Amino acid sequence: MKPLIGIDEKPVVQEPRQLTSPTQPFPRGDAFVPQEIDIAPEDYPLVNRGRIFTPFWTDGIVAKPSPRGGANWPPSSYDPADNYYYVCGTDSVNLFKGGVENQEMPGAGERFLGGAFGGSPLPGTGIFAALDMKTNHLVWRQAWKDSCYSGSMTTAGGLVFVGRNDGRLTALDSSSGKRLWEFQTGAGMNSPPIAFEYENVQYVAAYSAGNQFAGSPRGDSLWLFSLKGTMGPAPAASAALPANPATTAAR
């Protein structure tokens, strides 16, 4: 197979004790999350600007992206009209360490780690970005205060729907990322919404339940939206009561 846009092998910083490869593959275009550190975290020396593929040893380094950085399980969405791809990710710094003390082979049945990674010395931010699939360049990118751990959906009307950890379902202008509408669902809005048509009426359905990895408030509500809808929003997720497994709420 041949990449549509191209991938270049570029030299990277070496650590002979780690037996690193002299080159690494870099896709042409833009990364949807930053892959280097602009400002060094306090008390952490910055090596090679914390770029991706920076090798490490016993002293450890800070680098991007973190093991939880980039995209995870939340489904991305694609708009075939403009060839834009919408992806939810995490921008986070992480501490990476390795060395002789991590190279001892364990006994039978024990776990072996050739390196170790710790927590982030800085709070991470959510990233929601639009990429042009014809060029692999960013169209727009947003940094969220909270993590982005929600699936998204595009529509033919120029909208992209994406949820937030605080319970909001939002509709953004797909070409600019501008927020045009939001609705409080009462629990972490982390699942991807869907759209369908029934008797010439378009509907958007969204399941609001929270997510363990996002740490968002739990719930169990299915919301159905249309232009004829009259029901108001739920209380904010931070004030919502914990979900009771015996009483599923359907709205």
The pLDDT tens digits for 145-199 are 999 999 999 999 999 999 999 999 999 999 999 999 999 999 999 999 999 999 9
The pLDDT tens digits for 11-53 are 999 988 878 899 999 999 999 999 999 988 888 889 999 999 9
Q: Are 37 and 121 in contact (CB under 8 A)?
A: no
Q: Which two tokens stand for residue 100?
A: 């002789």
Q: How far is CA 165 from the centre of its chain?
A: 12
- Taking CA atoms, 195 is separated from 31, 41, 226, in Å, by 29, 43, 10
The pLDDT tens digits for 92-120 are 999 988 765 555 566 677 766 666 677 77
pLDDT at 242 over 60: no
**Can you give the pTM of this predicted structure?**
0.85
Residue 18's φ and ψ, nearest 5 degrees, are -100, -5
Beta strands 179-184 and 194-198: pairing type? unpaired
| 213 backbone φψ class: left, alpha, beta (φ>0; ψ -120 to 50) | alpha
Q: Residue 59: its pLDDT value, please?
A: 83
